[in-house]
A and B are shown apart, each in its own frame.
Chain A
């Protein structure tokens, strides 16, 4: 492979695309994790003790499940709204 060659071959292109895809997935997961921790800590841990009690853990588990449920509902509602807007214009 010459450094003067301006064209990407299929393999290189695919590699770059995969890499971008992966980066985005990681970024997305990080974003969700950050929000989950913030929200559920705030909702479930009023007075931080020396450990997470089992009720704390249950609260946090349920909270994070509900947040993911909410994320899916919002994602679907947003997608449908976009479709409706596109049909209108």
Chain B
């Protein structure tokens, strides 16, 4: 079994591509959890149960962070296109 057989195997390549995507998504979830845990549960991280307020905060945090990322991305692209 050589590296060539790995590289030339289409099923394996498809699998690897899918896993890489999965990895990226998982990394995003880790990143988001890290940020949103701090934002939403900072002082109360060790309660016995998450309240609905906590849950809503976490959900909002995910969406707002992604909105923020998209906004920054678009703005940055705009700047680059304007040559600034």
Measured CB to CB, the residues of A under 8 A from B are: 1, 3, 5-8, 12-13, 16-17, 20-21, 24, 28, 31-32, 35, 39-40, 43-44, 58-60, 62-63, 66-67, 69-71, 73-75, 77-78, 81-82
Q: At the interface, is chain B mostly helix, strand, loop or mixed?
A: helix
Q: Is the CB of B12 within 8 A of A71?
A: no
Q: How far is the CA of A5 from the CA of B2 in the complex (A)?
A: 9
Is B80's CB within 8 Å of the partner chain A?
no
> Within the complex, which residue of B9, B12, B22, B33 is in contact with A70, where a contact is CB–CB below 8 Å?
B33
Residues of B in contact, count (CB < 8 Å): 40
Q: Are the C-beta atoms of B46 and A31 separated by less than 8 Å?
A: no
Q: Tell me what chain A mostly uses at the interface: helix, strand, loop, or mixed.
A: helix
Q: Which residues of A contact B50 (CB under 8 A)?
A: 66, 69-70, 73
Asked if B74 lies at the interface with its beta carbon under 8 angstroms from chain A, I say no
Contact B45 A74 (CB under 8 A): no
Q: Does A74 lie within 8 Å of B6, measured CB to CB?
A: no
